[in-house]
Structure 1
Amino acid sequence: MAASEPGSSTPTALTVHTQSRLLEIAFDDGSGFSLPFELLRVYSPSAEVRGHGAGQEVLQTGMRNILVTALEPVGNYAVQPHFSDGHNTGIYTWDYLHWLGANQVQLWQDYLGRLEAAGHGQEAGRDLPMPRKSGHAH
């Protein structure tokens, strides 16, 4: 999915916001994203979600209230989130997290469309969760 390029961006900060269910990431190239936990969970790079080849992806449903319960570093290149449903096998490289952030609007629409097509319309029709604006700086 995400191409890996030498010299790509690395995070300068990762913040788990449990209440708003967002992972905030700042990269050394100046970019930054707030990724909803639900998006992270349904686009997990694990074999459980992606399958073992094209066309084997497994649609994740019922993830609206998913939480990240832990975020473990993997070397100097990735993190491994632990989700409240017990899923913890996805390793998210810096490149993959950057790709998710850069493409999250389209990915979210694709996810909602797949939910609708699979008969989970009650889960579709939502806007991408975004950070709430606050009056104070970080």
Structure 2
Amino acid sequence: MPDELQVLGRAVKQAQYRQHRALDSRLAAAGTTLAQWDALRAISRAPGAPARALATATFQSEQAFGTLAGRLTALGLIDRRPGRGRRIEHYLTPSGEAVLSAGHRIADEVLAACYSHLSPADRATLLDLLQRVDDGAGAPADR
């Protein structure tokens, strides 16, 4: 059983790695990286969100997200504004919206290619299974 689980874990990681490499490679044409585009996507979904929430949404530490947000600000893709207390709020600029939009088109193409060998029913099953794995992530075995 442990070998089977390790093979499964590696297969999930390998699929993610190939998907991320393809996305990162193609997003360069839009003048961005996968990490930058993911941050823009998170900000678009939650305008005004603080770094802590955006770090969580992009699977990064707060420090890593802060560094990334600094780069996005320097590139003119986001604005960082003071919020309540010490909170810094994040917003897309028009340039950020354009890069995000270009990234969405690229991601749609890349992901369609990544999953082209799966039928719509297989894709729905895979999504359901992965969501069930994620829903169980807080199970006692993880602690």
Please tell me the TM-score bracket, short chain as reference. under 0.3
**TM-score, length-scaled by structure 2:** 0.25
- Computing the radius of gyration over CA atoms, which structure comes out larger, 1 or 2? 2
Q: Which structure has greater helix proportion?
A: 2
**TM-score, length-scaled by structure 1:** 0.25
